[in-house]
Amino acid sequence: MTDSVVAVSLAELVALRIQASQLPEWRRSARAELSGNSRSPFKGRGMEFDETRPYQPGDDVRSLDWRVTARTGRPHTKVFREERERPVWLWVDYRPGMFFATRGMFKSAFAARAAAILAWGVLAHGDRVGGWVVGQSAQQEVKPQRGQRSVLHLLRALADMGSPDAQPRGIGTATLDKPPLDTLAKMRRIVRPGSLVFLLTDGRDLESADGHLSDIARHSDVVLCLINDPLEARLPPPGQYAICDARGRRLTLHTDDPTLVQGYAQRFTARRLHFETLAHRHRMRLISAMTNEDPLEVLRRSLRGQPALRRTA
């Protein structure tokens, strides 16, 4: 593999700004609409409370003010002021399992490129972008802000931590015992209602994060982008295969045992089904990608002509 498929550079991520212009428009969720004709996927209804008024036919029942309703005996609903700058969070998985691929590019490199394209797209639509780059023992956080500077801070974090040998550094770096769950727990506390959250990960060891994700999805739009290598879905035909990891260490993969091969495939299917069920139950969007695909094409295919993210009461 060449360096470009193993790691990403800041210059390359900056250059992806051109590709971001090719992202299709994505209809807004019914719960996140603004006045006007904009159809940007990055726009959302503001969630800053304005007033309480008597309920009118057509109002969202989820916005009922139950305290006022109980006190007056008549249904009242909360009214929110429109917010034209939607916070968009990108949660990028850089744990060791992401630095792997047998075809295309490393999962980590795919995630970095997809995150860069999304970040530039957010900027183009006038919204605020930030997020977390999460390694096994450290993370870098960029708070959503307006303008190019915030995008560049996020891209720099992706480039700094985008190598298997990279050591996290700079402002916002912290050592964590359980970074995936810790950062998702923090996201659960600080993500404002009406936000848009993208998670770019292979999904490994995140089943225990369901509670955090479902809580976030109650008030914000969540997009799960699962990135996998074809080898993770199915082992190759029976035989012995020489492989090496990101640090050049050589291993031998044995695929002669049919029980092993079947169990391997079943575990992948079970993990994928878990996230499909989670996404369906909590009205999240699920994007599936393979390392031998082009990040831009995956995003274009997944966002083009898709229905809005909707929620049930």
Q: Where in the chain is the domain with CATH 3.40.50.410?
A: 3-27+85-303
Q: Report the share of the chain in percent with pLDDT over 70.
A: 80
What is the pTM assigned to this prediction? 0.76
Q: What is the pLDDT of residue 26?
A: 52
Element (H or E) spanning 93, and its range? strand 87-93
Q: What is the pLDDT of residue 312?
A: 36
Residue 80: how many CB atoms within 10 A of its CB? 16
Give the length of the chain.
313
Residue 116 has pLDDT above 80, yes or no: yes
What digits encode the pLDDT tens for the residues 254-274? 888 899 889 989 999 999 999
Residue 89 has pLDDT above 80, yes or no: yes
Phi, psi (5° rounding) for residue 72? -95, -20
What digits encode the pLDDT tens for the residues 144-201? 988 899 999 999 999 999 876 664 444 344 444 455 778 888 888 999 888 999 999 9
Averaged confidence pLDDT in the chain: 81
Distance between CA atoms of 213 and 283, rounded to whole angstroms? 11
- In eight-state DSSP terms, residue 99 is S
Q: Read off the pLDDT of each residue in 20-30 and give the average, rounded to a whole number.
A: 65
Distance between CA atoms of 22 and 42, rounded to whole angstroms? 14
Q: Report the share of the chain in percent with pLDDT over 90.
A: 43
Q: What is the pLDDT of residue 64?
A: 87
Q: What is the pLDDT of residue 302?
A: 87
CATH class of the region 3-27+85-303: alpha beta
Whether the Cβ atoms of residue 203 and residue 227 lie closer than 8 Å to each other: no
Confidence tier at 303 by pLDDT (50, 70, 90): confident
Give 135 or 35, the one with higher predicted confidence. 135
Q: CA distances (Å), 63 to each of 67, 98, 147, 222, in order?
A: 12, 40, 32, 20
Residue 48: how many CB atoms within 10 A of its CB? 11
Q: What is the pLDDT of residue 177?
A: 47
Q: What is the pLDDT of residue 36?
A: 36
Q: What is the pLDDT of residue 164?
A: 65
Residue 46 has pLDDT above 70, yes or no: no
Q: Read off the pLDDT of each residue in 30-47 and give the average, rounded to a whole number.
A: 41
What digits encode the pLDDT tens for the residues 209-233? 899 999 999 999 999 999 999 999 8
Confidence tier at 112 by pLDDT (50, 70, 90): very high
Q: What b/e sequence results for 218-245 when a residue is b if at least 16 CB atoms lie within 10 Å of its CB, and e otherwise? A: eebbbbbbbbbbebbeebeeeeeeeeee
Q: What is the pLDDT of residue 224?
A: 94
Residue 49 has pLDDT above 70, yes or no: no
Q: What is the pLDDT of residue 205?
A: 83
